[in-house]
Structure 1
Amino acid sequence: LYRSDDRGATWHLVSRDHNMAERAPYYVRFAVAPDDEDRLYFVSVRFSISRDGGRSLGRSDFHGGGDNHDVWIDPLNPDRFMIAHDGGVSITLNRGKTYMRIVLPIAQLYHVHTDTRVPYNLYGNRQDGTSYRMPSRSLSGGASEGQWGHVGGCESGFAIPDTVTNTTVWSGCYDGGLEVYDTRTDHARNVRVWPEAAYGWRPADLKYRWNWTFPIAISPHDHTRVYVGSQYVHLTTDGGASWKVISPDLTRNDTTHQQSSGGVTTDNLMTFDGATLFALAESPVQAGVIWAGSNDGLVHVTRDGGGTWVNVTAGIPKLPPWGKISNIEPSHFNPGTAYLSADLHELDDLDPYIYKTTDFGKTWKRISDALPRSPLSFIHVVREDPSRAGMLYAGTENGAYMTIDDGAHWLPLQTNLPHAPVSWLTVQPHARDLVVATYGRGAWILEDISPLEQLEPATLAAKAFLFTPRPAYRFRSQQGVASAPNSAVEPDTVPYGADVTYYVSPSVADTSTPPDTVRRLRPAKVVILGSKGDTVRVLEGERRPGLNRVWWDLRSAPPTVPKLRTPPPGKAFVRVGPDGTRPLVTWDLDLSLRGPLAPPGTYTVQLTLADTGRAGGGSAVTLTQPLRVLKDPNTAGSDSDVQAQARLALAIRGEQDSVARMINRLEWVRKQLRDLVGQLRGDSAVVRDSNAKRVAALADSLDARALGVEGALFDVHLTGAREDAFRSPMQLYGRLAALQSDVSESGADFAPTAQQLAVHELFTQRLTEAARRFGDLVENALPAFGAELRKAPLKDVISAIDGGGAPSRPGP
């Protein structure tokens, strides 16, 4: 942030705080209060306020709908301002003390799919929201948001139901995130192909490159065969428990398109990646005919289920290179016929590109020339009607079109559909509905397209024509979800876990009141013990006279919290707090820093009341009771699945703890080294001393070495801004937390997948190497430096250096 006080003639730097512009490639905006030049409002990932002209930034209690894009301040009444965000707008009338949120129908949906229930449901993923499952019609009065539900995954990608079972949904997320959701249990299993978090990494450095909306496809011939695309095509036949690669790299694999993105501000979050697959589909006519399209303009096909792939891009006429193959639509009538759409608007080519092949891609014909041209005519999707050959639907940047003659003529299919980007089209085969996803106006349904399917030239020439109506269901009303619009009623949430209730007599109760701390007794200590007497969790409870209660959340203790004491390299503007530390803030949406859930079994609750004497002495009172932790009866995992998951989760938790303890000790060492160097180079009493110069150089070298060890443990460039995580590669601390999230938070009661075990083994090897380097530093390099310091007595310098009271154990 720069400031000018002379109408822009000169400028001076005010702040480098990353929270002002966490993701500069998307939006950077701020506003100045019209009645106070030092009061600034910053809209970015978070909403922040500065009251001192930008020198410091304070967090606001405002929580909107995701990313914040703009702010408007009433020039006549600055107490009134409005924040625009991905969930709508929020308005305050009292300068931010309270907000009123207005939810607008502006959902940005990437895709929409349907199941085969009656009535059917819609499935999709909403930008800066989550995945959704929505009924196509309500049988209990009017439609209500209370009838919607989530189906795993997250804001990006696909949510595709298995239409054979109508109980399973495959739902994606960025970074290759993939979950299998069970609508019967409302549980999801994380089955990510390769759960090695890629936040902050260049695509060129990754094992697999994933698009923000990487493709997912369920085989129309065998619903247990599910395909996903990175730069390869991956196949699972066991519900995602394991995957195999069935293709070579099907992109151009141009490494110049696999570098860090974001420009001035690095932003590696799979949003700008080149050389990834974008379209994937299997022929509904012939099993094993699979089409793949990339976002760098290549089209491949296999006719033997992935054994052999053929690049058929060269046969596509007048298709400029590097266009995005936005979707491929295999025909429902002929195994060699397919349609594709290509989007070149990012290359400043706004023309519509739709092609057809009838010979498995050897030759192609452009069939979109009759579509109207405008700055918004580029194509997102083409879809074939499953009942009528040659009848197609197309979605452009501002509308929907149809043709009944394979593209010779196109007609607008707009009616009351808002003019918004049509991102996806799905034909529900039984209801004969056309379901539309828009990027900005939600999902729409064109009811009953069977008259369009019956449309012929002779029909329009007749005086009148009665189309054959589709069958009608005699639906009966159902009792549904209770709703109360604008209700101020907010039910309380019952705490999760096991409640431990205990009685404390007045004779041993703590009856002190603040600020009296002299007579205060130690709180009740509640220890959860495992079946072998091991400590699972230690809690503290109140010690009031009468009944007391403490809740155990059924989790083991969380891993150690890292406390950073030094600024990131080259970012001296990052300051520590009053306690001399700053938090390690990394990406958090799919990372777990909690202790894992305890597996089902019998535990012991141990209550201890110390200081039971009248004067605070006396022997402690210790009581125990058994506690049974039961398996969720709604989960599909077996007892052995739960135990396997718990074992891996506890192992990861131990490794997270080891990483954090090494970070904490390294930070103590680096803090002392930096302080020492500051004294040696800033104290006039020693600054010219040759010994001081030599020791300062040795300290710099040791600090650089310690920083190198830290760099393998966590992203040392993090400043405290949440989305700094996309600027530099995530390391062990974040990646272990991401794996823990996949295993124990997003895995319901399922056993670890083969790929989760493989990535854990990889992390274990990396942690072993990091611990070796850490041990060499603290056991060899650090004592050697201490010896050099003692050999060079310097005025006002204490000749000793150690870990500052931090843990002395060198590794896990």
Structure 2
Amino acid sequence: TWQHMGLTGTHTIPRIAIDPKNPDIVYVASSGHEWTDNEDRGLYKTTDGGESWEKILYIDERTGVIDLVMHPDNPKILYASTWQRIRRKWNDPRVEPGYDKNTIYKTTNGGKSWKEVSTGLVRAEDRGRIGIDICRSEPDVLYAFVDNYEAARVPEEGELNSYGLPRQAVIRGATVYRTDNGGGEWHQVSETNKYMESLSNTYGWVFGQIRVDPNDPDRIYVMGLALHMSKNGGKTFKRIGRMHGDHHGLWIDPANSKYLVNVNDGGVAISYDGGKHFRDFTDDFPLVQFFNVSYDMDDPFTVIGSIQDHGSFKAEVDLSRGRHHIPAEEWDRAPGGEGTRHAIDPTDPNTVYASSFYGRLGRTDLKSEERTSVLPNPDEGELPFRGQWLSATIISPHNPRVIYHGMNYLFRSMDRGDNWERISPDLTYNDPAKYGDIPYQTIFAVAESPFSFGTIYVGTDDGRIHRTTNSGTDWTELTSNVPVHQWVSKIVASEHTDGTVYLTQNGKRFDDFAAYVWKSSDKGDTWEDISGNIPCGPVNAITEDPKNPNVLYVGTDLGVYVTLDGGGTWQTLTADIPTTFVHDVTVHPREDLLIAATEGRGMYVMDIRYIQQMVDSVQNSALFVFAPDEAKLPRGWRRAGITGNIVYALNAASDVTIEISDAEGNTVRTLKHSGIVGINQVEWNLRMDPEEEDGYGDRVEPGTYTIVVKGNGVRAEGAIVVIDN
């Protein structure tokens, strides 16, 4: 269990140091808000176990503390590295003109006073993020891992950066310094070469982690795209392990330096021999980070999504054991990369459109495995089109040959992507000051009305919303009464009512964590706030229930929420899904399954037929029993059956008794359940009551069984059919 101890306004906490002699004394480093300036940056200290906090080191509203180490023998001696940074929507954090506050501080009196200890480091104007560590066995020895912005060389002709753009001056990047006198003076120990340049590439701001062997001051580890080790005090490095890329943490056992625990973007890896071999736990933890989800209309149907660092994958949804026992599946490769949205032809599950990596677009025939690039190209002399990491690609609900693709312009193809026409002007703010390494000012959300071909809604990452009712001949801006500049994360044109549109906005890039959910009943001319009681955003996606027009689902950074009254009130859907970042949600219209793509917990599905039936009369009933699915007896040990799934709803919590009787009225099974307000599920294993308390009853025979549910002082009945397998 955990208790919240404050410092909410910091947003990001990179390091905590606890006094080993007094655990009520704790130091917390705050690097602050990611996207905006704020005064909660700095270093905090508590002497009462977190009941109160004092800020003991503060530079300014853009400079936080990114790393912190404590002297192993004297807890009043600490070293803190500061980082002046802000993240731009069009550029990663970097040293900007005027930045000179990235440095290292030392205190010898528990934070009462601080002294800058940066002599020997690269000049302040060229320092990026700084990671630090101390050797426990020789605590005068410390290392600093500096993201060095000194120019290293002129790029080679045609050399591209990590974003696929022409490379500018190449910086030195990863540079390691050492002090042997507690920060009195530093000297560079690492080489200046292409190996060190490529260690973090242009992502030095992401890593910045260094560790010193607690028993050997000359053995150090630095983390970048891979894990690197030096045995000679940083003079030379070699890559160790073949784990997943992007390394962010390493623990070294002080009692056994050969025992290493590494964390990276793929999970956890452990070495027991000092890094010669690593045991990878990637398959043991459900850590898959899905960006999105789409589905086909095959039977059984397939879901498809893109995964960070891995590419795109697909899997069938197996309903053979019942909709309440959908198993985990092995996933197969699918068209697209790691940043891909998929649009699958509803009339042909073998035709998949995959947009990836800043607007690239391809069409794949899964049967022949033939892939065709169908990306629109700019005219000669025109600037390249800007496309988001997850570009918007949809298939028209009126004709599966009609494809829409969003860059900074909206494009339409009438022939499956073979030919394109530009049907909009630049629909973003198109501010040249916001051109950068990362494409920004792009179309992120597109929806076409299922009632009217050519009525299209477009939302951008810089917060503009437009509508056309004539396939792009004219465009109307719809941004007037929603928050300006907020990322439009999803637009849904209702399938139930012409003119009804739903829209979500994500304020994360303004450090705004409100829930923005909007509804329009007049094609976007006006917007109504339907976020209701959703406690927190950002909101990443919204989808409409295909059967019940009052039911909507949203995915937020904290999970999935559902409304039964069109957005008046919301409830969380947390039965089997943990509190987690939900990137995308959608509903399979034939199977009535809600699908959620999570950032770090894989893909989930939920049977929503009972939610669809939660009309006012059901919600107001003291007790309501839903019609059960057909159950199927197992056949021996090899062929599983489908257990009975008894679902009921209560308007007040109550202990519940369920009696199951055969056609002659004989009670074959009695079940007890503690019912909560709302929908409840009880599983019946198709056995009779056991003769002994801890025994198994006999299997029931095929037939129709009456279910009587008693609770809240009332009773309700249903029937379940059990068939042979």
**TM-score using structure 1 length:** 0.53
Partner of 2:232: 52
1:206 Cα deviation (Å)? 4.3
Structure 1 match to 2:535: 372
Match of residue 93 from structure 1: 272
Q: Hey, what's the Cα distance between the residues in 1 that align with 2:469 and 2:286?
A: 43
Q: For the residues of structure 1 that align with 2:279 and 2:492, how far apart are their CA atoms?
A: 44
User: Match for residue 10 of structure 1?
Assistant: 185
Amino acid at match of 2:496: F
Aligned pairs for 1:490-509 (under 5 A) are: none
Match of 2:286 among 105, 109, 124: 105
Distance 1:392 1:275, change over 3 A: same
Q: Relative to 1, partners in 2 of residues 1:398 and 1:76: Cα closer, same or farther, differing over 3 Å? A: same
The SS at the match of 2:623 is coil
- Partner SS for 1:285: coil
Change (3 A) 1:471 1:357: farther
* 354, 359, 369: which one aligns with 1:171: 354
**Mapping of residues 91-490 of structure 1, within 5 Å:** 91-103=270-282, 104-137=285-318, 147-194=330-377, 206-259=383-436, 268=437, 270=438, 273-316=439-482, 319=483, 321-373=484-536, 377-447=537-607, 449-468=608-627
3-state DSSP class of the match of 1:465? strand
Whole-Å separation in 1 of the counterparts to 2:479 and 2:629:
40
**CA gap 1:474/1:412 in 2 versus in 1, 3 angstroms:** same
**How many Å apart are 1:370 and its aligned residue?**
2.3
Kept in 2, the 8 Å contact 1:39–1:53? The answer is: yes
The alignment yields a C-alpha RMSD, in angstroms, of: 2.9
Give the corresponding residue for 2:214. 34
Q: Contact conserved, 1:276 with 1:294, CA < 8 A, in 2? A: yes
For 1:470 and 1:186, the matched residues in 2 are separated by: 38
Letter in 1 for 2:525: K
Judge conservation of contact 1:112–1:435 (CA < 8 Å) in 2. Answer: yes
Question: Following TM superposition, by how much is the alpha carbon of 1:146 offset from its aligned partner in structure 2, in angstroms?
Answer: 7.9
Residue of structure 2 in register with 1:74 after alignment: 253
- Structure 1 counterpart of 2:697: none
Matches of residues 527-566 of structure 1 in structure 2 within 5 Å?
Answer: none
In the alignment, what sits opposite 1:83?
262
In 2, Cα distance between equivalents of 1:178 and 1:470: 42
Q: Deviations over 1:610-660 (max 9, x none)?
A: xxxxxxxxxxxxxxxxxxxxxxxxxxxxxxxxxxxxxxxxxxxxxxxxxxx
CA contact (8 A) 1:370 1:410 kept: yes
Hey, what's the Cα distance between the residues in 1 that align with 2:371 and 2:471?
Answer: 28
Conserved in 1, the CA contact under 8 Å of 2:553 and 2:562? yes
Q: Which of the pair is proportionally richer in strand?
A: 2
Q: Equivalent residue for 2:669?
A: none
- Contact 1:139 1:475 (C-alpha < 8 Å) held by counterparts: no
Give yes or no for contact 1:285–1:333 (8 Å, CA) kept in 2: no
Paired residues of 1:156 and 1:173 also in contact (CA < 8 A): yes
State whether residues 435 and 443 of structure 1, in contact with CA within 8 Å, keep that contact through their aligned partners in structure 2.
yes
> Residues 190, 476 of structure 1: CA spacing in aligned structure 2 closer, same or farther, 3 A cutoff?
farther
CA distance in 1, matches of 2:579, 2:404: 33
Q: 5+ residue gaps in structure 1?
A: 197-203, 260-267, 481-812
- The AA in structure 2 aligned to 1:3 is R
User: Would you say the 8 A contact 1:151–1:159 is kept in 2?
Assistant: no
Secondary structure at the residue paired with 2:198? helix
Answer with 454-463 or 150-159: which moved more.
454-463
Q: 1:453 to 1:48 in 2, by over 3 A?
A: same
8 Å Cα contact 1:139-1:476 kept in structure 2: no
Taking the aligned partners of 1:138 and 1:85, their CA distance within structure 2 comes to 34
Change (3 A) 1:44 1:227: same
CA contact (8 A) 1:151 1:171 kept: no
Deviations, residues 702-737 of structure 1 (Å, cap 9, x unaligned): xxxxxxxxxxxxxxxxxxxxxxxxxxxxxxxxxxxx
Distance 1:404 1:143, change over 3 A: closer
- The code of the aligned residue for 1:220 comes to P
CA distance change for structure 1 residues 140 and 457 in 2, over 3 Å: closer, same or farther? Answer: closer
Is the partner of 2:221 in helix, strand or coil? strand
Provide TM-score, normalisation by structure 2: 0.59
Shift in CA distance, 470/362, structure 1 to aligned 2, threshold 3 Å: farther
Runs of 4+ residues over 6 Å off in structure 1? 140-146, 470-477
Give the count of matched residue pairs.
Answer: 453
Seen in structure 2, the aligned counterparts of structure 1 residues 381 and 38 have a Cα distance that, compared at 3 Å, is: same
Contact 2:318 2:327 (8 Å CA) reproduced = no
Shift of 1:390: 2.5
What is the CA–CA distance in structure 2 between the aligned matches of 1:305 and 1:326, rounded to whole Å? 22
Counterparts of 2:319 and 2:210, CA distance in 1: 43
Superposed displacement of residue 68, structure 1: 2.0
Alignment-mate amino acid for residue 479 of structure 2: T
User: Separation in 2 of the partners of 1:346 and 1:212?
Assistant: 15
Larger Rg: 1
CA apart distance, 1:289? 1.3
Offset of residue 82 of structure 1: 2.1
* Secondary structure at 2:397 match in 1: coil
Higher mean C-alpha deviation, range 131-140 or range 21-30: 131-140
Preserved contact between residue 532 and residue 570 of structure 2 (Cα < 8 Å)? no
Aligned with 1:452: secondary structure? helix
After superposition, what is the alpha-carbon deviation per residue over 1:497-521, rounded to whole angstroms, capped at 9, x for unaligned?
A: xxxxxxxxxxxxxxxxxxxxxxxxx
Contact 2:378 / 2:385 at 8 angstroms: preserved in 1? Answer: no
Moved more, 8-17 or 418-427: 8-17
Q: Which has the higher helix share?
A: 1
Quote the Cα distance in structure 2 between the aligned partners of 1:94 and 1:243: 57
User: Is the Cα contact below 8 Å between 1:280 and 1:290 reproduced in 2?
Assistant: yes
| Counterpart-to-counterpart distance in 2, 1:111 and 1:164 | 21
Matches within 5 A, 1:561-600: none
Give the aligned residue type for 1:303.
T
Q: Select between 22-31 and 356-365 the one with higher mean Cα deviation.
A: 22-31
- Highest relative contact order (Cα 8 Å, sep 6+), 1 or 2? 1
* Shift in alpha-carbon separation, 1:227–1:193, aligned structure 2, 3 A: same
Distance 1:144 1:186 in 2: 28
Contact 2:560 2:573 in 1 (8 A): yes
Cα distance change, pair 446–39 in 1 and its aligned pair in 2 (3 A): same
SS of the residue aligned with 1:313? coil
d(CA) in 2 for partners of 1:297, 1:49? 45
Offset from partner CA, 1:351-395 (integer Å, 9 cap, x none): 10111111111111111132224xxx3211111112111211111
Query: What amino acid is the match of 2:619?
Result: L
**In 2, distance between residues paired with 1:475 and 1:191?**
49
